[in-house]
Structure 1
């Protein structure tokens, strides 16, 4: 589905969607140095749209740029306001937001230092990333032959444009074989994350996820699920684990802003549990949607209302 909207925020002002253009010599287009975020706004049960965990997303955007030695020419508060203004200008309720920071045209070559740092915020209406059917009934996943980047070759804690070539290769590889998502191992053979989501397994009531100090991106949805699990007095353990631990898990699910909370029913042709979303997965999925789209106010600090 083609992306459409009325307005895009670009370098400090709202402009018509069709006018948001860059030169073909834009540095980031050639070399991949840039940072972005994926954020969702939901229309809640009372009809009011609220952006979910906006402050945390924008902080991570600034962290990513700091890692890349890119100085954003706006404050965090200004980018937060830009996100709110973009949603309002387009009249959206439910929508996806993509703030992106990139180097414009000017110098070429890897050492270019004088190119202008440019910033845009785009919003569009986008359903769940892995599909509504997958959200309800689970998806099929496959371990990719492409390993997740080592922590000393790429900066894992930055949501950096060029890093996603690694994810694209993994995603395309498994989709060509009939799967919906790729699971990626780190360079030592332990499970890292999916191509665009963090991963959780459940075994005998214990929830296990990969540690934040490894090769994973520190997901904001991951943090949300960990907090919601703790709110329910569920035991959450961060530890390294192998692919065969996924095979014998009772439940497996992936989380991310785009994918939300999506169960996995099969990995590498092995059925997970009984092949349907498990009870803890469904409970955490329900809790998540109660907080983003329902009427839950337990974590009111996660919500930034647009109106």
Structure 2
């Protein structure tokens, strides 16, 4: 059992270009093209300990499909099939599943390797998969009580500036700057608007709100947002419960006067937002819709919701 710090477990091995190597041998050259120009794509995938003690990867195929779609958008030729990359995720955890008592976070990444330099270079595509134990991204307290968010001074890039269907490495500089601004200002997370001033998403999460009439809304995929897999799961959970969800644009002040706001994402899972721009959201506590989504989601990922059993790939 190894650790990146005294409190974070990580796998002893990395899947790199088709074979397992020791963690410390998972290296790339300083002339790697992606390091200089940001051309790569990645996924974040969680594996959970289920109620019966097994380890299960959440919506593995959907994540692999999005990874390959992202590579296609970036015109990067994949050296492995979808099946090979999915099996590599399973293989990596299967070999070390006992050490991930609390589950694991998988990070497949595809990037242009070293060789030629310059913006027009086309080098071989490299693929790596790592795993570590990553707890609640916005904190356990944030999951329970909600977080404080701030509308960022940074704007989410226009759909003709970035490829919004792709989870592309270089594009996350926009998110990093927004996140740092928010944290330095004393907040937990940033909310970015699109170029028209409508709410897009958080730095690494999709957003839902419940207004005072009980209407549930989330920005549409025509906005510059990632087509989140957790977002899709939440849409299904809500609609399966008989609730309607409107995929529509919303203004920032709609967040100030609604009853509930919550973020969704692989890392953040289902995180309530108790405050936006120093304005209390609703009662300042997770609301009933947020609590329902949280409860159902966590039951599903732990194998306690048979209707969502297809979301789980058991190791």
The equivalent position to 1:219 in structure 2, one of 202, 219, 228, is 228
For residues 299 and 205 of structure 1, the distance between their equivalents in structure 2, rounded to whole angstroms, comes to 25
Aligned to 2:275: 266
Cα displacement (A) at 1:23: 0.3
Cα displacement (A) at 1:301: 1.2
The 8 Å contact of residues 40 and 257 in structure 1, kept in 2 or not, is answered as yes
Q: Deviations over 1:222-273 (max 9, x none)?
A: 0000000011001100000100000011000000000000000000000000
Q: Deviations over 1:21-64 (max 9, x none)?
A: 00000000000000000000001001111100000000000000
Cα displacement (A) at 1:67: 0.3
The equivalent position to 1:71 in structure 2, one of 77, 89, 95, is 77
> What 5-or-longer segments of structure 1 have no aligned partner?
none
Aligned to 2:218: 209
| Count of aligned pairs between the two proteins | 305
Aligned to 2:90: 84
2:124 is the counterpart of 1:116:
yes
Aligned to 1:16: 22
2:306 is the counterpart of 1:289:
no
Q: Secondary structure at the match of 2:307?
A: coil
Alignment of structure 1 residues 1-307 onto 2, 5 Å: 2=5, 4-91=10-97, 92-93=100-101, 94-113=103-122, 115-203=123-211, 204-306=213-315
The 8 Å contact of residues 7 and 89 in structure 1, kept in 2 or not, is answered as no
Cα displacement (A) at 1:294: 4.6
For residues 116 and 157 of structure 1, the distance between their equivalents in structure 2, rounded to whole angstroms, comes to 23
Q: Secondary structure at the match of 2:306?
A: coil
For residues 217 and 12 of structure 2, the distance between their equivalents in structure 1, rounded to whole angstroms, comes to 43
For residues 202 and 152 of structure 1, the distance between their equivalents in structure 2, rounded to whole angstroms, comes to 30
The 8 Å contact of residues 143 and 184 in structure 1, kept in 2 or not, is answered as yes
Q: Secondary structure at the match of 1:145?
A: strand
Q: Secondary structure at the match of 2:171?
A: helix
**Which piece of structure 1 moves more, 249-258 or 89-98?**
89-98
Q: Secondary structure at the match of 2:154?
A: coil
The 8 Å contact of residues 40 and 96 in structure 1, kept in 2 or not, is answered as yes
Cα displacement (A) at 1:71: 1.1
Q: Deviations over 1:127-150 (max 9, x none)?
A: 010000000000000000000010
With the length of structure 1 as denominator, give the TM-score of the two structures: 0.98
Cα displacement (A) at 1:5: 2.0
With the length of structure 2 as denominator, give the TM-score of the two structures: 0.95
